[in-house]
Amino acid sequence: MRERAVVATPMESSEAVAVSLHARVRAQYEQLSPVERRLADVVLNFPGDLASYSATELAGISDVSNTAVSRFVRRLGFANFDEMRRLARQEQEEGSPLYLLGRSTAAPSVLLAERHVETATANLRRTFSENTPETLSAIAVALAEARQVWVCGFRHGRFLADYLRWSLAHARPGVRRLPGDGETLGETLIDVGAGDVVVVFAMRRRVPAIAALVRAAAEQGAKVALITDPGMVNTAGATWAVRCQTRTRGPIDDHASALAVSHVLTEQVIVALQQASSQRLGGIDDIHDRLDELE
């Protein structure tokens, strides 16, 4: 897992502490002079813009002097403007929506819609060109033959995991979420074993628990399919890794490719199971009719 770098500042002792730029400004805001507050307001509203600004550009946008920028930078505990800008760039690279939001992202709704269509299309093409059909087929066969299937995701990976669980439950029995509602990882992992497949969604801004989860599932004999993004280098021993393109030109990642991978896997599982899957789908429809559940 990628670890966030720490930044040592003059305000700190010998220990380096990881603190976001936004948090630094908030902590100092009440003590700032009126001139420094103009700078602080620009940073708080669009902190990601600092990744491309020079000190002179920040001074011009804030209508202050270069000297005021230097004082402001030192007040926040940075040695110089470049050090502050590096922290803003790091936040951008790690996918913080706040640091991806900039003045240039504002656009009419029609242009935003067009941009999202273009981005999603490009991400889908890249995802399926960079992940071989053989890899997806191997995962699908394993999902079809597994004793049990487990799906897991944290943060925005949670809705992706829930969607795949729901989809696969139409094709086969024994598809469970990990962890279960109200349970710890340990209380669910205890039931994971040889012959199982665990699908883990690990998209950008991952929680550290994912690496431990992948290793624990593998140690208990399960195969692990990791659906992630290109920024995840260490896959913690997963059996397969499918990297989905998610980057956009705005503050929100695009997960269309991860959903498309779920579609492909589910359809391949249905094809692999053939009659058993058809009977299950038919049984589900029979119950829908009996309970009058769908219009």
Query: Which of 144, 160, 159 minimizes the C-alpha distance to 265?
Result: 144
**Span of 78-92, 160-174, 262-276 with lowest mean pLDDT:** 78-92
pLDDT tens-digit profile of 184-216? 999 999 999 999 999 999 988 888 899 999 999
pLDDT tens-digit profile of 9-23? 333 332 333 577 878
> Hey, where are the domains in the chain?
21-105, 120-291
pLDDT greater at residue 248 or residue 216? 216
pLDDT greater at residue 143 or residue 208? 143
- 120-291 is a CATH 3.40.50.10490 domain: yes
| pLDDT exceeds cutoff 70 at 95 | no
Share of the chain above pLDDT 70, in %: 85
| pLDDT exceeds cutoff 90 at 170 | yes
pLDDT tens-digit profile of 50-88? 777 889 988 888 889 999 999 999 999 899 999 988 888
Q: Classify the phi-psi angles of 9: left when phi > 0, otherwise alpha if psi is within -120 to 50, otherwise beta.
A: beta
Measured between alpha carbons, how far is 99 from 47 in angstroms, rounded to an integer? 6
Measured between alpha carbons, how far is 92 from 245 in angstroms, rounded to an integer? 16
Q: What is the pLDDT of residue 234?
A: 83
pTM: 0.67
Q: What is the pLDDT of residue 119?
A: 84
CATH architecture classification, 21-105: Orthogonal Bundle (1.10)
pLDDT tens-digit profile of 275-292? 999 999 999 999 999 999
DSSP secondary structure letters along 125-181: HHHHHHS-HHHHHHHHHHHHH-S-EEEEE-THHHHHHHHHHHHHHHH-S-EEESSPT
Measured between alpha carbons, how far is 269 from 264 in angstroms, rounded to an integer? 9
pLDDT band at 219 (very low <50, low <70, confident <90, very high): very high
| pLDDT exceeds cutoff 90 at 225 | yes
Instruction: Identify the bridge partners of residue 244 per DSSP, sorted by sequence position.
Output: none
Q: Which strands, in side-by-side order, build the sheet including 223-228?
A: 175-177, 149-153, 197-202, 223-228, 240-243
Measured between alpha carbons, how far is 135 from 101 in angstroms, rounded to an integer? 35
pLDDT greater at residue 122 or residue 98? 122
CB 224 within 8 A of CB 239: yes
Q: How many CB atoms lie within 10 A of CB 214?
A: 26
Q: At what angle do helices 34-45 and 66-75 cross, to 10 degrees?
A: 70
pLDDT band at 163 (very low <50, low <70, confident <90, very high): very high
| pLDDT exceeds cutoff 80 at 169 | yes
